[in-house]
Amino acid sequence: MRTTALLRCLLTTAAIVLATPGSAQSSQALRLATTTSTDNSGLLSYLLPIFEERSGISVQVIAVGTGKALRIARAGDVDVVMVHARPAEERFVAEGHGVDRREFMYNDFIVVGPRSDPADVGKTTSITEAMGRIASSSRFVSRGDDSGTHKKERALWKMSSREPGGDWYVESGLGMGKVLQMASELDAYTITDRGTWLAYKGRLELVLLLQGDPPLFNPYGVIAVNPERHPHTNYAGATAFIDWLASPEGQRLIADYSVSGHVLFHPLLIPGE
């Protein structure tokens, strides 16, 4: 790990020196694999132009589920990942695929469903009780795509001692925005990150029914692909991006991002936030 630390120091310095508009560094794009939630919510469209202007590094985005983002990174086909599934992230780093992991922001998961609320989810404050009620009486639309949201959903079914399946359980294989639209059309329940919900709710026949239970906390991590395993990756760009997200400017921009007056994500690295 000493070699990696030295490499990080040297390459980050190089990024600062070289990453100016018109420089050679700016011509080497940074490949970012991230979740559909950061894309669907509009956060990336807000953050990335500012990072590109500051650094001179252009960013190419691949928006997929967390599981697929980490698989792409394992193959060395991207330079950095931004995802939200802490156990999978920690395993990715422990297996030597990633370095310099930082948790830098959070939002939370919520349960949304039809206004009629046939499962009476709105009458409970417990996510495990809510999952049991849905499984007993209603339709549920799942991401079904090994995303961070899908991983969280599976963990919540396990916590509630329920095994999802059958006609009431729809595995979509789609991103969060599409899942919300499908749930709205089917009069079904689903679990979503709050950011995507706030970005989409004006177009949906769904209401927020459950929030605030501690298991629904949703931190996001950013990780550089290990340059010792994949020397061709843009490690200098990855570390510049990670450092910027963790900087006072990056954290303040995350705190200031809102849709229709609602803050979508919260910084983790600003004291008191």
pLDDT digits (tens, 9 = 90+) for 204-216: 999 999 999 999 9
- Give the ranges where 141-193 is alpha helix by DSSP (H): 148-159, 176-186
Residue 234 forms part of a structural domain: yes
Shared domain check, 119 and 75: no
Residue 57 has pLDDT above 50, yes or no: yes
Q: How many domains does the chain have?
A: 2
Shared domain check, 257 and 196: no
Q: For the chain, what's the residue count?
A: 273
**CA atoms of 143 and 150, how far apart (whole Å):** 6
Shared domain check, 256 and 245: yes
pTM: 0.80
Residue 273 forms part of a structural domain: no
Quote the Cα angle for 153-155-159, to 5°.
115
Shared domain check, 200 and 263: no
Residue 272 forms part of a structural domain: no
Shared domain check, 197 and 133: yes
Task: Give the chain's mean pLDDT.
Answer: 89
Confidence of residue 33 (pLDDT cuts 50, 70, 90): very high
User: The domain that contains 159 carries what CATH number?
Assistant: 3.40.190.10
**CA atoms of 64 and 7, how far apart (whole Å):** 29
Among residues 186, 201, 216, which one ends one of the domains? 216
For position 49, what pLDDT does the model report? 98
Shared domain check, 112 and 195: yes
**CA atoms of 258 and 269, how far apart (whole Å):** 18
Shared domain check, 223 and 98: yes
Among residues 184, 200, 216, which one ends one of the domains? 216
Residue 82 forms part of a structural domain: yes
CB of 122 closer than 8 Å to CB of 210: yes
pLDDT tens digit string along 253-268? 999 999 888 888 999 9
Residue 114 forms part of a structural domain: yes
Confidence of residue 27 (pLDDT cuts 50, 70, 90): low
In this structure, are strands 80-83 and 140-142 parallel, antiparallel, or unpaired? unpaired
Among residues 173, 188, 216, which one ends one of the domains? 216
Residue 16 has pLDDT above 60, yes or no: no
For 3, the 3-state DSSP assignment is helix
pLDDT tens digit string along 101-155? 999 999 999 999 999 999 999 999 999 999 999 998 899 999 999 888 999 999 9
- Structural domain boundaries enclosing 81: 2-107+218-267
Residue 237 forms part of a structural domain: yes
From the list 175, 44, 201, 34, the residue with the least C-alpha distance to 110 is 201
Share of the chain above pLDDT 90, in %: 79
Shared domain check, 224 and 101: yes
Shared domain check, 114 and 83: no
Shared domain check, 44 and 80: yes
Shared domain check, 226 and 211: no
Confidence of residue 36 (pLDDT cuts 50, 70, 90): confident
Residue 203 forms part of a structural domain: yes
Task: Write out the E strands in the chain.
Answer: 30-34, 59-63, 80-83, 98-113, 140-142, 169-171, 190-193, 207-210, 217-225, 258-259, 262-263, 266-267
Q: What is the CA radius of gyration of the chain?
A: 19
For residue 208, give every residue at least 6 positions away whose Cβ sits within 8 Å of its Cβ, in sequence order, or none.
Answer: 110, 111, 112, 197, 201
Shared domain check, 117 and 250: no
